[in-house]
Structure 1
Amino acid sequence: MVCWSPENATKAYLQALKMGKRDNEPDVAEFISAIAAGNNAQLMVMACSTVVVSTALALVAAAHQTSGRVICILSGLNNENIEASKEAMGPHASCIEFVVGDAQKLLMDHEEYRCADFVLIDCNLIDHKGVFRAAKECTSNHGGGLIVGYNALHKRISWSEFTTHFLPIGEGLVVTRTTTGRGGGGGGVKRSRWVVTVDKCTGEEHVFRITSPTQKEVKI
């Protein structure tokens, strides 16, 4: 089981905030960076149609803390998306390995991608649930991992086949963890949940990770 690293999480969060060069309050990108680094992710795979720079930078910041790799799978049939994404990322493009293809098939069939321990999925992808299924299977077959979907807020679909936690951050996140074994289950394994609180005075959001051996699973 991967041990949570508060130090990695904090450093990645602050680096993502700095790389984003924003003066306003932090958003979903910094949170993604923190949970990827905090879980010591070594192979981070991002599945999307177009690169959102802040989200991609979040994984780059996490990789800097864990000495991991970032692979971005872009949906499409040609390499034009890669060139556009590299241009958008600027000097940070060299920190990401870009490929074009079907994320679901690559996660299922490509041996290298099947070793991913952190998968980030854009829920605006038409086949995002298929990508979730592939990510769930490949991570559970290689020691377990963390799967995060973003842009999930307005997806009025059933997630009953996935044990997920919904976080009202940005455009909505769904988070699920898999463990070794079919279906990502395991008796006696401590489960965690994320709790979001809002400071009534400042309006700031604070996110806490709580681990409990008797945590009830939440399905959405």
Structure 2
Amino acid sequence: METDNSKGHEITRLFHISHGGNNLHVGFILKIVEEMKLAWCPETAAKAYIDTVELCGVCNDSGIAELVSSMAAGWNASFIVEAWSHGGGTATSMGLTVACRHTNGRHVCIVPDERSRLEYVKVLEVAGMSPEVIVGEPEELMSGLNGIDFLVVDSQQNRFSRVLKLAKLSNKGAVMVCKNTNSRSASSFSWRNVVYDGSHWLIRSIFLPVGEGLDIAHVGSCAGNSSSREGKRRWIKLVNRRTGDEFAIRK
């Protein structure tokens, strides 16, 4: 059985061999894997990371695109959904498309209007990509997108927390990513307020000081983890009554 240490050494080896060793990014990736307890494929993550770096080069989203691509690919995401609007950077979108190429998954981008769609499609087509784009308000479209296992939103967008709350997540759980959290209006946002809906709940969350801030949550599925089949472990939620913190263990 692969231990956390051996997994960490393998991730470090793959990223250093393949990309020349961006120590900061390798450290963040190790932190994500170890602290968030993700099922993870280091080889796929490394390939997506490298391809995204080569595609995007140095840009305004530098650092974010390759990390998000690596997360989505390493997590083996099969249905990636992203909310985007006019004026937003497209490097993250390119990274998500790269991840889908490695996982044979689907990447859907929601844009609010035709102006945003034209801008988005134009930039990605120049990069040789043919994005799947849906026009409309994200919170209205979420009900028709079932089985999301990787979701990316921008904290600068209006009602971004509503989008997270309405997402129809996969029964295997999901990874949810908020970009630009440093500029987010304080403190009304809480992962616990958007995740707990009776079918999904928060396993771990983490903040990374990349770009304007990445806030990432690993969400578990009650349906996916409560199976009574022999040999199937399940998640148990525990609450610290003194601090109110919630965390999970597998039993």
Cα separation, 1, equivalents of 2:158 and 2:220: 26
Is it true that 1:63 corresponds to 2:100 in the alignment?
yes
Deviation digits for residues 136-174 of structure 1, max 9, x if unmatched? xx216x321111010111221233325532111111011
1:130 alignment counterpart:
162
Structure 2 residue aligned with 1:171, among 212, 217, 226?
212
Q: Note the residue ranges of structure 2 that are not aligned, 5 or more in a row.
A: 1-36, 195-201, 227-233, 238-244
Aligned match of 2:151:
119
SS of the residue 1:179 aligns to? strand
After TM superposition, the structure 1 = structure 2 runs for residues 1-220 of structure 1, keeping only pairs within 5 Å, are 3-22=39-58, 27-50=63-86, 51-76=88-113, 79-92=114-127, 94-107=129-142, 109-110=143-144, 113-135=145-167, 138-139=168-169, 142-155=171-184, 156-160=186-190, 161=193, 163=202, 164-181=205-222, 187-188=235-236, 217=247
CA contact (8 A) 1:8 1:38 kept: yes
- Whether the 8 Å CA contact 2:62–2:211 is kept in 1: the answer is no
Identity across the alignment (%): 27
- Tell me the TM-score normalized by structure 1: 0.74
Query: Structure 1 residue 26: deviation in Å?
Result: 5.0
In the TM superposition, residue 117 of structure 1 has moved relative to its aligned partner by 0.8
Local SS of the residue matching 1:40 = coil
Amino acid at match of 1:158: S
Q: Would the alpha carbon gap of residues 69 and 158 (structure 1) be closer, same or farther in structure 2, given more than 3 Å must change?
A: same
Q: Aligned AA for 1:174? A: D
Q: Is the 8 A contact 2:206 2:216 kept in 1?
A: yes
Partner Cα distance (1:35, 1:148) in 2: 10
C-alpha displacement of 1:84: 1.6
| Gap change, CA 1:25 and 1:181, over 3 Å in 2 | closer
Bigger Rg, structure 1 or 2: 2
Query: Are the equivalent residues in 1 in contact too, given 2:124–2:131 (CA < 8 A)?
Result: no
Query: RMSD in angstroms over aligned alpha carbons?
Result: 2.9
Unaligned runs of 5+ residues in structure 1 are 190-214
CA distance 1:8–1:103, change in 2 (3 Å): same
Residues 118 and 145, structure 1, Cα contact 8 Å, conserved in 2: yes
Contact 1:29 / 1:58 at 8 angstroms: preserved in 2? yes
SS at match of 1:99: strand
Distance 1:157 1:90 in 2: 38
Contact 1:123 / 1:151 at 8 angstroms: preserved in 2?
Answer: yes
- Judging changes above 3 Å, is the alpha-carbon distance between structure 1 residues 123 and 24 closer, same or farther for their aligned structure 2 residues? closer
